[in-house]
């Protein structure tokens, strides 16, 4: 990721290092306060390859909403990076106080929902018909993972130190809302669909803050884009997770990475 950013957006790389006190790509394993600005930079570096293709719609998964809004012209790239750094720091602080985590449940949807309810876990990411990510206390996640097989599910503990998109993040909301209040938002050149509401952004300041404690509705977002005529999806961020999730939601869709 760093090489791509250094080549396409060295300005963002320099600003990210200034904001977090060191090269965030060298410290992504140290927590989300470094990972979030690094991922934001990588997503916008990938966007540089797509500018000329003039997409009809944009969307982002969780943090990716900041990159989508910046790429669409709703805010300056640098302002988006400042938000990503602030969001990362606030989220890590909340996670360190909460001590929770996240668990991916692969398999029949109703069984996954029943297992989450049984162990009092929050659905944090509704990614695809057969992929839910739940969040909550570590002991509840461990109990759910142990009983997943008997429910016909495959359970994978995610390598994150926090119950993101759950009430564990509540303490981060006020600080992020303050950071958002300082940003000048504009009408985007390209419409952006929120992954929290599966609708076009109306008020980014409030919607982005609220999204910290709301589930990512990626399954519904992909379908909403399809209903708007989207047939081809291109992922700009690091990796190909969203590319695969698009195919799991829409078998006939064309999905690729920038």
Three-class secondary structure of residue 255 per DSSP: strand
Among residues 61, 119, 165, 194, which one is catalytic?
165
CA distance linking residue 225 with residue 254, whole number of Å = 13
CA distance linking residue 212 with residue 217, whole number of Å = 13
Active-site residue flag, 165: yes
CA distance linking residue 155 with residue 176, whole number of Å = 32
Half-sphere exposure of 130 (CA within 13 A, CB side): 10
The DSSP code sequence of 13-70 is HHHHHHHHSS-GGGGGGG-HHHHHHHHHHHHHHHHTTTGGG--S-EE-STTHHHHHHH
Q: Beta strands of the chain (E only): which ranges?
A: 58-59, 100-106, 122-128, 131-137, 154-157, 192-193, 232-235, 254-257
Among residues 62, 91, 166, 194, which one is catalytic?
62
How buried is residue 125: exposed, middle or buried, by Cβ count under 10 Å (0-12/13-18/19+)?
A: buried
Three-class secondary structure of residue 157 per DSSP: strand
Please, which residues bridge with residue 255 across strands? 233
Active-site residue flag, 206: no
Catalytically active residues, by annotation? 62, 165
């Amino acid at each position: 990721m760093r090489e791509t950013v250094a080549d396409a957006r060295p300005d963002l790389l320099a600003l990210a290092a200034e904001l977090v006190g060191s090269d965030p790509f060298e410290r992504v394993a140290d927590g989300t306060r470094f990972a979030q600005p690094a991922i934001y930079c990588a997503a916008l570096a990938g966007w540089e390859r797509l500018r000329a293709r003039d997409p009809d719609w944009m969307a982002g998964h969780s943090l990716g909403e900041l990159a989508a809004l910046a790429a669409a012209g709703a805010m300056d790239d640098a302002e988006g990076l400042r938000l990503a750094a602030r969001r990362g720091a606030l989220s890590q602080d909340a996670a360190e106080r909460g001590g929770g985590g996240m668990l991916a449940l692969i398999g029949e949807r109703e069984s996954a929902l029943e297992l989450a309810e049984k162990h009092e876990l929050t659905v944090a990411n509704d990614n695809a018909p057969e992929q839910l990510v739940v969040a909550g206390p570590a002991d509840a996640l461990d109990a759910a993972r142990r009983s997943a097989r008997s429910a016909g599910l495959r359970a994978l503990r995610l390598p994150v130190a926090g119950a993101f998109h759950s009430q564990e993040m509540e303490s981060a909301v006020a600080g992020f809302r303050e950071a958002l209040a300082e940003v000048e938002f504009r009408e985007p050149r390209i419409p952006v669909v929120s992954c929290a509401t599966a609708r076009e952004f109306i008020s980014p300041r409030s919607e982005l803050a609220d999204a910290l404690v709301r589930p990512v509705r990626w399954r519904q977002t992909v379908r909403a884009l399809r209903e708007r005529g989207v047939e081809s999806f291109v992922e700009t961020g690091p990796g190909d997770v969203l590319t695969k999730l698009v195919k799991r939601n829409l078998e006939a869709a064309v999905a690729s990475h920038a």
